[in-house]
Amino acid sequence: MRVVVDLTRCQGYAQCAFLAPEVFRMVGDEALLFDPVPSDEQRVKVLRAAAACPVQALRVDLADDVPVPPIEPARTSGGDRARGEGRIVVVGASLAGLTAAETLREEGFTGSLTMIGDEPAEPYDRPPLSKQVQTGWASSTDTTLPRRRDIDADWRLGVAATALDLKHNTVSLSDGTDVAFDRLLVATGVRARPWPVAAEADLDGVFTVRTRADAAVLRERLNAGPRRVLIIGAGFTGSELASVCAELGVPVTVAEAGPSPLIGALGGVIGRISAEIMREHGVDLRTSTRVASLQGEQGRLRRALLSDGTTIDVDVAVVALGGIRNVEWLEGSGLAVGMWGLACDAGCRAFDASGLVTEDVFVAGDVARQPQPVFGYQFLAMEHWGNAVTQARVAAHNMISDKTDRWPHLEIPVFWSVQFGNNIKSVGVPPIADQIAVTQGSVQNRRFVAAYGYKGRLVGAVSWNHGRWLDHYHRLIEQAAPFPLPYDVTDPPVDGSPVPAEFPERVLPARDATVVVTGHDPSERQATLIHSSPAASGSRS
C-alpha cells in the first residue's frame, strides 16, 4: 500500500491522525507527516482516513483494488489519430509525468504510451526526502508514488533522453535508440545545483538532496552522528534540513548569502521571523555569509572557510542552492529553451525559438515556464508539488482534445513547508510583491497570516500555523482583490499596516538576449537560440 498527501490542500484537521495514528502524525498545531508505505495491518484504517479527510487530500494506491471504468473515447474531430490511438511519449517519469499518463488514460486515450526516465526507479515523491526520510520515519525506497490506475505504458527507465528531432518527431535516448511520437510531453523537471568547484564537490561528505540515492546516503551520514553539518543556502530545502538536524540533535551551521532565510521566496519581513526560530532551536545561522571554500583531507570533507573569515570543522555539507532545469537535451531542437526552462502557452503547448506555438509538444512541471494571466501575464516557472499535478492534468487533457475543448492552466500557485514544528503555507506569487501586511493572528505567537500586495492588488499570502484561512486568500487573489484588504477580518493583528516586503531584486531572463534574428521579409525572418550552459549561472553561497 502506498500513500501520499497533497499538503497544499491539507488544512490540519487531523482526522487522519485520529483514525490511523500509526501512519499519520501531527507536528505542532497543523503540520502533518505520514508514513508513505503503511503496513498491510493499517490498510483499513488508512482507507477510512482517506474517506474522512474533509479536503480529500489523501491519495492511496488504488491501481490493484478498484475496478477501472471502461475507457471512453477521447473527444476528437477530423480523424486526428494522435488524439485517439496515436503514439504519446512522456519524457520525465516523476510526479508530473505519472500524473499526465494517468490523466491520458482516464480521459480515454487508447494509443501507445511510452514513459522515459533517466532514473531507474518508478516515479516517486520528492518532498519526504528532506523530511521523513532524514528523520528516519520512512525509507527513501518507500516514497514510490501511489497509482490511481494502470497506465499500460512502455517504461524506459534508467535511460535519459539526449535529443529531440521535430522534423521526424523522434526522441533520441542514451542507449542509442529513437522513440517516435505523435504527441510529446516534456516533464524533465530540475536537478540539484551542485557546488561550483568540482574538486570540492567531489569530497566525501558533500551532498545535494534531489534523488532517492541522495537522500539515502545523507540519511546514513546524519544517523552516524557527524561533528557538525554545514548547510549552504537557507531556502526551503536548506531550512527544512536545518530543522531535521535540530530534531536529531546534530550540530548544524547554515550559511546564507542573503540577509535572512527564505528571503527569495517570502521576503525579508518573514525571513527575519524564520531566522529567530532557527536560532531559538540552536542553529548556528550565518546570514550575509558565503562559503569561500570546502576543504578536505585524504578526499574527505573536514572544514569550510566562510566569507566572514571564520573556519568551521564539518563532516557533512549539504548544498541547497536551488535547481537547474533539465533542458540540455532540447538544445538544437528549435524549441524555446534556456536556463529558465521550456516556454509554453497557458495551454501547456511549447513555444519554438521564434515564439510560435507548437501543436505536438507540450510541457508540464518544474521545467515549464508559462504566462500567468492572474499576474499580468508574466512568464513564471513554478517548482511546486501542486503545480506539477495541476499542470500535468491540463497538458494531458489538451494533448488529446479538440482545440475548442482545450483548458487553460490558471492555477494559483500553492506550496508548503514544515520546519521546526511550524507549518508554513503560501498561495499566489509573493516574490512579485512590493508590500506585506500581517492581516490575522500574532507574529509573536508564531500563528499568523500575512498578505502580499503589488501596486494595490493582492498577489499572495503566507500562513504560519494558520493555514485554514489560506483558502480565503486564494479566492481573493483570483478575484483581484485590492491591497491592503478594505475590510476587517477575524483575529486581526495589533498592527496590520503595510510595510515594504523586502525581496531581493528580481533577475529576469528577458534582460539578456536569447536569440539571433535573421532575414528581412516577414516570410524569411527566423530566430536562432543562443545556447549557454545553465550551470554557468551558478554561484557560491
Strands 58-60 vs 337-338: parallel, antiparallel or unpaired: unpaired
Q: What is the pLDDT of residue 508?
A: 62
317 in the same domain as 362: no
Domain boundary (60, 79, 97) is at: 60
Domain boundary (324, 350, 374) is at: 324
209 in the same domain as 93: no
332 in the same domain as 315: no
Q: What is the pLDDT of residue 74?
A: 47
Q: What is the pLDDT of residue 19?
A: 82
Average pLDDT of the residues in 297-317: 97
CATH of the domain at 435: 3.30.390.30
Q: What is the CB neighbour count within 10 angstroms for residue 497?
A: 9
Which one has a higher pLDDT value, 484 or 530?
484
Report the alpha-carbon distance of residue 125 to residue 107 in Å, rounded: 24
Dihedrals phi, psi of 80, to nearest 5 degrees: -75, 105
Q: Are the CB atoms for 17 and 44 separated by under 8 Å?
A: no
Q: What is the pLDDT of residue 291?
A: 98
308 in the same domain as 217: yes
Q: What is the pLDDT of residue 424?
A: 94
pTM: 0.88
55 in the same domain as 107: no
Q: What is the pLDDT of residue 16?
A: 84
331 in the same domain as 183: yes
Considering the domain boundaries, does residue 411 fall inside one?
Answer: no
308 in the same domain as 221: yes
Considering the domain boundaries, does residue 66 fall inside one?
Answer: no
441, pLDDT greater than 90: yes
Average pLDDT of the residues in 350-376: 93
Total number of domains in the chain: 4
Considering the domain boundaries, does residue 213 fall inside one?
Answer: yes
Identity of residue 83: R
Considering the domain boundaries, does residue 284 fall inside one?
Answer: yes
DSSP per position, 424-477? EEEEE-GGG-SEEEEEEEETTTTEEEEEEEETTEEEEEEEES-GGGHHHHHHHH
Dihedrals phi, psi of 429, to nearest 5 degrees: -130, 75
Strands 112-117 vs 154-157: parallel, antiparallel or unpaired: parallel
Average pLDDT of the residues in 241-255: 97
Q: What is the pLDDT of residue 99?
A: 96
Q: Percent helix, strand and coil across the chain, each rounded to 5?
A: 25, 30, 45
Considering the domain boundaries, does residue 81 fall inside one?
Answer: no
Q: What is the pLDDT of residue 114?
A: 98
183 in the same domain as 117: yes
Q: How confident is the model at residue 66 (pLDDT cuts 50, 70, 90)?
A: very low
Which one has a higher pLDDT value, 239 or 378?
239
Q: How confident is the model at residue 61 (pLDDT cuts 50, 70, 90)?
A: confident
pLDDT digits (tens, 9 = 90+) for 426-435: 999 999 999 9
209 in the same domain as 185: no
Q: What is the pLDDT of residue 40?
A: 84
109 in the same domain as 256: no
What percent of the chain has pLDDT above 90?
68
Considering the domain boundaries, does residue 304 fall inside one?
Answer: yes
- Between 93-107, 141-155, 514-528, the lowest mean confidence (pLDDT) is in 514-528
Q: What is the pLDDT of residue 259?
A: 97
pLDDT digits (tens, 9 = 90+) for 456-482: 999 999 999 998 899 999 999 999 999
270 in the same domain as 223: yes
532, pLDDT greater than 90: no
CATH of the domain at 211: 3.50.50.60
Q: What is the pLDDT of residue 513?
A: 58
CATH of the domain at 13: 3.30.70.20
Considering the domain boundaries, does residue 530 fall inside one?
Answer: no
Considering the domain boundaries, does residue 508 fall inside one?
Answer: no
Q: Across 106-110, 138-142, 369-373, which has the greatest mean pLDDT? A: 106-110
111, pLDDT greater than 50: yes
46 in the same domain as 112: no
Report the alpha-carbon distance of residue 261 to residue 320 in Å, rounded: 12
Q: How confident is the model at residue 395 (pLDDT cuts 50, 70, 90)?
A: very high
Task: Give the range of the structural domain holding residue 390, as residue numbers without chain letter.
Answer: 87-189+326-400
Q: How confident is the model at residue 536 (pLDDT cuts 50, 70, 90)?
A: very low
Domain boundary (303, 324, 345) is at: 324
Q: What is the mean pLDDT of the chain?
A: 89
